[in-house]
Amino acid sequence: MKREQNNCFATNIMRSSAILFGMLLLSVNSFGQNKNNLLPPMGWEPWNIDHCGQSSNWDDSYYKELADFFVTSGLKDLGYTYLTFECHAHYRDSNGVFQPNLSKFPAGLRSVNNYLHSKGLKSRTYTDAGKGKCGGCYDGNGSYGYYASDAKIWAEMGFDGVKIDWCGGNKEKLDAKTQYVEFHKEMIKNNPDFNIEICTWGFGNPWEWGHQAGAFWRTGGDIDLYDEGEKRITGIGGLWKALIRNIDANRHPDKNLVGPGLGWNYPDMLIVGIPGGLNETEERTQFSMWCIMASPLFLGNDVLTMPQYAKDILMNKEMIAIDQDPLGIQGDVVKEYNNGNLQVWMKPLKDGSVAVALFNRSEKAETITADWKDLGIAGKMNVRNLLEKEDKGMFTGSYSADVEPHGTVVVKISKK
């Protein structure tokens, strides 16, 4: 009898432990991001091409052609998998229901999403956390008041993620953390792995709470907008001042808030290969710094027509490997001088090596030196230039490189 009581007691303990463990998992899943958010997401979105203008129909045929290109070009195999339906793909009807734009997607959004999935790709929809919206990306209101119904419909349509903007929420003076956390709870009821972009442009300090509400979060303004006093400068293709601003605004590398299983700081989409904005050097700098910062990599150009130099930048496997390193540490400045215009950034890697960016923010060519003591390494080390894909040799104590104005040299330093 005593043995039976002991067995019963042990069984009850095990059951209680199992229930407690299940509740713990539910709590983590409810207030944190999903267990599959182990690497910065990669994909594409159309906004920066022409702000959802008329350069494309953004329709069923376009997305199928786009999906085919991502496969045949090798972009998918490099990790670029999320395609964003941001421009005129949906509307909200008079009953508040999220509806597909049948003039562009006659068979509905589920059909085109099935096509993307058949190619090994994923899809993201788009909305605003408030009643209002940004620009003319869709007709009708944003998602405020419809969080539960939108989340359910998106799951039924086969979407894998969403970009949630903040124009309406900001204008309506809503609390960002409250709204995004509430929206997140509704979405994970339907799909625990739903990939959520929090797009408050840094308002409300999303790097402090984003891991409770999404997979990644914008830390600064649009990469093609810059405010000088009361004057707003807009530049399709990006602005150097906006690029610098967003790099600085993204420096929140706290390992307790950012990284695998938590989420990622995001300084906005890539603008490599968009005419009329940054020059080639500046575009290479953007991609380099995004990789050093373990940022999500979302192409913002028309990939179907991008020039060869843009392909070379965006499809550099060695640089992508830095961004996607499984250790997931966001790189940061370890040394700066010349009034902060010359910077040495360092990102530790899982294999024990370090990735280093020598970043010249100034208007003239400069020599920048990375000292081993600043990098926390010692001894004779191999240096490989990742942009040139070339070994530079063995070095002891430091490594120096000439860096052009607005340019970046990225090296991987390791024991041979």
Active-site amino acid positions:
165, 222
Quick check: 320 and 81 in contact, CB under 8 A?
no
Structure tokens that stand for 47 in this block? 């906004």
Crossing angle of helices 109-118 and 147-157, rounded to 10°: 50
Long-range CB contacts (within 8 A, 24+) of 4-7: none
Q: Report the alpha-carbon distance of residue 247 to residue 227 in Å, rounded.
A: 16
Q: Report the alpha-carbon distance of residue 98 to residue 111 in Å, rounded.
A: 16
Q: Report the alpha-carbon distance of residue 143 to residue 202 in Å, rounded.
A: 20
What does the DSSP assignment read for 352-370?
S-EEEEEEE-SSS-EEEEE
Q: Report the alpha-carbon distance of residue 252 to residue 329 in Å, rounded.
A: 11
Quick check: 158 and 123 in contact, CB under 8 A?
yes
Amino acid at 265: N
Name the residue among 131, 139, 132, 193 with its Cα closest to residue 162.
193
Amino acid at 267: P
Radius of gyration of the chain, Cα coordinates, nearest whole angstrom: 23
3-state secondary structure of 28: helix
Measured CA distances, 272 to 219, 229, 407 (Å): 19, 27, 14
Measured CA distances, 375 to 47, 316, 333, 383 (Å): 38, 24, 10, 13
Instruction: Give the Cβ contact number of residue 234 at 10 Å.
Output: 11
3-state secondary structure of 109: helix
3-state secondary structure of 75: helix
Q: How far is CA 141 from the centre of its chain?
A: 25
